[in-house]
Chains A and B, each alone.
Chain A
Amino acid sequence: MSIVKTSQLSIGYAKGSNKTLVQSNLNLELLRGEMVCLIGPNGSGKTTLLRTLAGLQKPLKGNVLIQEKNITEFTQQEKALQIALVLTDKVQIENATVRDIVTLGQHPYTHWLGGLAPEGREKVHEAIRMVHLEHKTNHYLNELSDGERQRVMIAKALAQDTPLIFLDEPTAHLDLPNRVEIMLLLHRLAHKTGKGIILSTHELDLALQAADRIWLMSSTEGVICGVPEDLVIDGSFNRVFQSEAYYFNAANGNFSMNYPLNKQLSVSGDKTRLYWTLRALARAGYSVTADAETHIKISEKGWEINGKILLTIEDLLQELSTFPEI
């Protein structure tokens, strides 16, 4: 069942009669319990798309349907009951505890002075539990790390109790463990609670692993949608992120740098060591071909070159640099 659907959607900015078109003719669909990662180079319109889907800005053309109803027909309050947001805006509130912030998520349900019903209080606790911050419930926001703050904002979105959550770069500025943790958390939430989650990110490898579906935004080809693996196999990633400096390595899902390779070697040996040796050699500018004159043999003992055994890759590179021409 789809909760978000766009038809012939054009997004961008209109200032007076001056229109800046960012993307046009988008036909996208988000299903219940699905996590979609929005990926694309800077300037391809990720934030603009998220803002348009959330109804924070108007589409230039076409429609956004939330639960089969046009977003322009929602009031601000009705939108708040459908979509919860996690933005890149910095939240800096003096003297606010984790509980205070998460409670703000219940804003659409509280009475006119902001009082919470008992079930609202339970929702707030549940949201804090889901992001594993129950031990920090009464801590002040400025005592938390960046990763914890981001989890507080996600808990706020959960407490809003909406079928949809949109997140704009929720993993930016976080270290690797926190990035992985947040991606896993969102993935789990989508599957467990049946919410539809859309997030924009620059973490390609994490998105490939965690997303149920990827919306790949390119400046030239519009938005390509699909299961991550399909987009890898059909070369979409390579096309969208085309560059002279690197290429998308379909074998491991990472970006690899294009080193200028002007020297040749042949290498043989055990698998793990071979892989890392090849990486070091590529960085040093060696291309590995089967018929090169100089041969490196990798074994348990080390790296053998011209009958000399070297114990580390560092020594090997040192030795190679003394070779006048290969």
Chain B
Amino acid sequence: MKPRKTILFILLTVLLAVLFVADLSFGSIRIPFGEAMNVLFGASSDTINTEILLNFRLPKAITAILAGASLSVAGLMMQTLFRNPLAEPYILGVSSGASLGVALVMMASAVLPAVFISSGWGMILAAVIGAALVLLLVVGVSFKVQNSVSLLIVGIMFGTIASSLVGVLQYFSNPDAIKLFIMWNMGSLSAVTWEYLQILVPTILTGLLLAIILTKRLNGLLLGENYARGLGIPILQTRVLIVTATGILAGAITAFTGPIAFVGVAIPHIARGIFRTAKHQLLMPACVLLGASLILICDIISQIPTHTLPINTISALFGAPVIIWIILKRK
């Protein structure tokens, strides 16, 4: 690795660490940096601060890192697989599938037992099943459809169908259920407790491990599928593996935090721009660091006003200009 890139990696790691600590200190109750450190290392006697930090802010900050890393890496893989700069997990209908699952549970609450709804587990389970179902359909189609662009369109269509079904459900639901659903749909990091993290962390790590194993093949795919075949890459198997990794990464995080838009499309481009490389063995760790930092920044911003803003709106405010910049630059 060239020295410039090593320095960049060190800088990004430091940035991530600083943002992590900042995210712990900021909030409706401000905990000074020193106090935050004390709590983390068990040297604080303030029970309120300890409670806020350990049981609320720490899992939230960890979730932010997981969300940023997984959505960015999933976006990077999608962009390479589809050779399309605007591809991201949502294009494959992951979030629409998750939304449909959640909408089904929330709006069918009249039928389901109340405990199932209030525990939160029903919602998460429904989101994972919804996301996985759409991905399974896309993988199924990928056996039939050879062309990546066609597959991309099929993904968009599945997503559209799922969104329309959500619309139909909303039309027939009561206002309370709709509000609950809209809240989930705006995305939130604070819903994730230590209990949920015990499921989320190993799931995301599995997805990231699969992504790391795929880096070499992703590099070959940059040349296009015919050239990749010529280099000895089994295309169908690789495609299934990439979609699976994306599904695990994006599906799991969406289930727990709600859809977080634009991170998946924006971060890979920022990583390419900063590192000036196309190699996935560099881009992937860069996406992890940059994505995690971005969500932490979004979370810090969303805490500053007295009312906590939905994370999805902040990330979209950041991501949309990036997409416009990409289009202007490609001209």
With A76-B232, A80-B231 given, is the CB distance from A91 to B278 under 8 Å? no
Across-interface contacts of B275 in A (CB, < 8 A):
95
Is B215 part of the contact surface with A, judged by Cβ < 8 Å?
Answer: yes
A89-B226, A110-B216, A114-B215 known; A95+B277 contact, CB < 8 A: yes
Decide yes or no whether B331 CB sits under 8 A from chain A.
Answer: no
Cβ-neighbour of A76 out of B213, B216, B223, B233 (below 8 A): B233
Complex CA–CA separation, A41 to B151 (angstroms): 34
Q: How far is the CA of A101 from the CA of B219 in the complex (A)?
A: 9
Chain B residues near A101 (CB-CB < 8 A): 223
Give the shortest distance, in Å, between B2 (CB) and chain A (any CB). 10
Across the interface, B213 reaches (CB within 8 A) one of A54, A104, A108, A112, namely A112
- The answer to whether residues A94 and B226 also contact, given A107-B231, A110-B216 and a CB cut-off of 8 A, is no
Contacts of B222 in A (CB 8 A): 93, 96, 104
B230 and A83: CB pair below 8 A? yes
Q: How many residues of B contact A (CB 8 A)?
A: 25
In the complex, per-residue mask of B236-258: 1 if CB is within 8 Å of any chain A CB, else 0: 00000000000000000000000
Q: Which chain B residue shows the least CB distance to A78?
A: B232
Contact partner of A91 among B219, B223, B230, CB < 8 A? B223
- Complex-state Cα separation, A95 to B222, whole angstroms: 11
Contact of B224 (CB < 8 Å), options: A83, A91, A107, A113: A91
Q: Which residues of A contact B230 (CB under 8 A)?
A: 54, 56, 79-80, 83-85, 87, 160
Interface centre among B212, B231, B272, B281 (most CB of A within 10 A): B231
| A87 to B315 alpha-carbon distance, docked (Å) | 41
Give Cα distance in the complex from A113 to B219, angstroms. Answer: 10
Complex: chain A residue closest to B234, CB-CB:
A76
Q: A160 to chain B: which residues have CB within 8 Å?
A: 230-231
* Cα separation A56 to B229 with both chains bound (whole Å): 8
Residues of B within 8 A of A (CB): 212-213, 215-216, 219-220, 222-224, 226-227, 229-234, 272, 275-281
Binding site for B on A (CB under 8 A): 54, 56, 76-81, 83-85, 87, 89-91, 93-96, 100-101, 104-105, 107-108, 110, 112-114, 160
